[in-house]
Structure 1
Amino acid sequence: MSYADTFLNIYIRQRLLTMHTAMPAKIVSYDEAQGRATIQPLFMTKEYGKPPEPLPIVENVPVLKYRLRTEGGIVQEYTPVYEKDDVVFVACAERALDAVLADPGRVVLPSDTRHHSLNDAVILGALMT
């Protein structure tokens, strides 16, 4: 393999490893009234030639709500309750969520160029409690 091929393979691998999609995380704190949590991702990151490091703590992470129909046919909305150290599964949005969260339901042009960022994580549900 040529130097250029090796360099390109390493570059592509590094870019893919910094593109966050979904991962387990631990609840550091949870604001039930706001439906927002502070989380610690449970994966580490490692740069070439350096020791592994934990991913940073992420604040103000929204929690998915659930709208369910009960046995009596009544539609109820539920917001999960999380406690410190619960393990949850989070997904990182493809683009910045700021504009969507500021104006729910409207089609928006993302207000930032970031993509697959930990800053755009959303808690999907409990993995382990």
Structure 2
Amino acid sequence: MLNTDAVTVQRTRFAVIATMVTLMAGLIVWRTRSGVSAGDIVVLAVLTAPLLFALPRLLAGHRRTYAWMTLAVTPFLIVGITEAVANPSERAWAGLCLINAFVLFVLLIAYLRVTRAQR
């Protein structure tokens, strides 16, 4: 049977992956719901590439990947804040992006704290 520390690590890892997938799916739906332009494709590629690149290592539980992923969340925060301020009709989608990005950031930090003793 797993001890509580291992269960906590697994739950935190699952929460990170689920939030990351939710963030990517929300971004894709948001940017493609009214047609796809070249700018939307560039935004999607730039924002989702680091997440897709990191996914196998996140699944494997590499702490360094969790650490640098905290920096990969920054562009989502920038896009969300920019859209919320500049485009009033997109505030709901921008708010969802901001909330998901913030939750992902908090979960990444939580995973790093939970696994600190295992180093």
TM-score norm. by structure 1 comes to 0.28
Structure with the largest fraction of helix: 2
Structure with the largest fraction of strand: 1
